[in-house]
């Protein structure tokens, strides 16, 4: 072994080491499959990358024995190449576990290749030193690859969120989202508000940590003074309550939940419309649903909000018949005074009560509640305007 002052290894032992690299690597892979069920579920090409690293590492041991000044050139090269893909599939902890298993196999099998006992002692000590250097190299290479991947992912994520905000629904957007690990079949909800900090890494940490606690996937983008978050899965109140803490001060608006990311542009459009209009409702909850801001959005000139108010309130009231529309109009015009409304319509107050209950069932809006009364009033006004323009 050159330059060590220790027992030299024979040419036959060096040859045995060089020829055993494939066998050692295969044994390492078998040990990984046995110890880690998740490893067996990895794609074949990723497992092949692990085999390549293990085989190169085993072959690199012989080169390291001949010239340690080469400082693991072959092994370092292997770790710098493969982890670009591997770091997408396995964590740093899992990488360390795989390296540990590979080194255990190396430590067991390499000494058996010695020609005699002195050589066995040399190989046993050398493989332990080599293992420490390999472990350090693998961790550094994984960290470097993960850092590069993080920068690439951040740019890709920003392009996906920007595409959703712009209204893109092309296949390229879906494929970019899939590359980030987004489930194409997952429901999606867009949330918009102010970022929690001027420091982008802090914003990313806050959003991802809240999403992790809620058990949800997210994609996010900071667009100037606006934070846009795409949340996977149903947007239950409890989940939204967790996510709202990732935003800074000010209103947070949640768009409607859509069936998949392909339709996320609809959720984004409604959420952004709500964010522009929420200033008109100072007492709005946080977060507030974009559907709860339909009156303000309609007043701000959002045609989609006008359409929803007509479809959900004005048209159902008219189609229900039974004097529901006239009763709601009269009730609102008379300031919500039951007896005055009854006199205006020439009906008994109980008839007004009955019709108002039916109207609430049809529209989901109770005219006795101030907020619902506003929704009804704006919806009926929008309906009249739409009808006058020949749009309804």
- pLDDT tens-place string over residues 202-261: 898 889 889 988 889 999 999 888 999 999 998 899 999 999 999 999 999 999 999 999
Backbone angles phi, psi at 321, to 5 degrees: 65, -160
DSSP bridge partners of 228: 192, 221
The DSSP element (H or E) to which 193 belongs, if any, is strand 188-193
Q: pLDDT grade, residue 373 (50/70/90)?
A: very high
Please tell me the distance from the alpha carbon of residue 98 to that of residue 31, in angstroms, as a whole number. Answer: 9
Q: Looking at the chain, how many residues does it have?
A: 392
Closest CA relative to residue 134, chosen from 74, 206, 219, 202: 74
pTM: 0.63
Asked if the model's pLDDT at residue 382 lies above 70, the reply is yes
Q: What does the pLDDT look like over 35-58, one tens digit per residue? A: 988 787 777 777 787 787 777 777
Q: Mean pLDDT score of the chain, rounded to an integer?
A: 85
pLDDT > 70: percent of the chain: 86
pLDDT band at 5 (very low <50, low <70, confident <90, very high): very low
């Amino acid at each position: 072994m050159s330059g060590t002052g220790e027992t030299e290894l024979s040419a036959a032992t060096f040859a045995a080491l060089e020829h055993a690299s494939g066998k050692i690597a295969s044994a390492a892979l078998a040990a990984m499959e046995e110890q880690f069920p998740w490893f067996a579920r990895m794609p074949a090409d990723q497992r092949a990358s692990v085999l390549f690293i293990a085989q190169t590492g085993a072959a690199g041991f012989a080169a390291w024995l001949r010239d340690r000044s080469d400082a693991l050139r072959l092994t370092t090269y292997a770790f710098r190449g493969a982890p670009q893909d591997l770091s997408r599939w396995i964590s740093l902890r899992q990488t360390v576990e795989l390296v540990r298993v590979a080194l255990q196999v190396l430590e067991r099998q390499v000494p058996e290749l010695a020609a005699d006992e002195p050589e066995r002692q040399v190989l046993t000590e050398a493989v332990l030193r080599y293992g420490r250097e390999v472990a350090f190299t693998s961790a550094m290479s994984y960290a470097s690859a993960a850092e590069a991947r993080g920068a690439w992912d951040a740019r890709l994520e920003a392009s996906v969120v920007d595409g959703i905000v712009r209204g893109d629904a092309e296949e390229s957007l879906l494929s970019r989202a899939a590359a980030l690990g987004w489930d194409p079949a997952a429901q999606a909800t867009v949330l918009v508000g102010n970022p929690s900090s001027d420091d982008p890494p802090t914003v990313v940490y806050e959003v991802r940590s809240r999403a992790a606690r809620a058990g949800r996937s997210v994609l996010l983008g900071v667009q100037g003074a606006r934070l846009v978050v795409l949340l996977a899965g149903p947007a239950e109140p409890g989940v939204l309550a967790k996510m709202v803490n990732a935003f800074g001060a000010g209103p947070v608006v949640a768009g409607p939940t859509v069936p998949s990311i392909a339709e996320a542009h609809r959720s984004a459009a409604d959420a952004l419309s709500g964010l522009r209009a929420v200033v008109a409702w100072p007492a709005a909850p946080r977060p507030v649903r974009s559907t709860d801001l339909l009156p303000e959005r309609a007043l701000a000139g959002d045609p989609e909000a006008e359409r929803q108010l007509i479809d959900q309130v004005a048209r159902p009231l008219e189609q229900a018949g039974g004097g529901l529309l006239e009763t709601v109009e009269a009730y609102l015009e008379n300031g919500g005074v039951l007896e005055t409304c009854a006199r205006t319509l020439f009906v008994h107050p109980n008839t007004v009560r009955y019709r108002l209950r039916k109207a609430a069932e049809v529209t989901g809006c109770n005219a006795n509640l101030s907020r619902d009364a506003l929704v009804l009033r704006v919806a009926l006004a929008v309906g009249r305007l739409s009808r006058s323009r020949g749009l309804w």
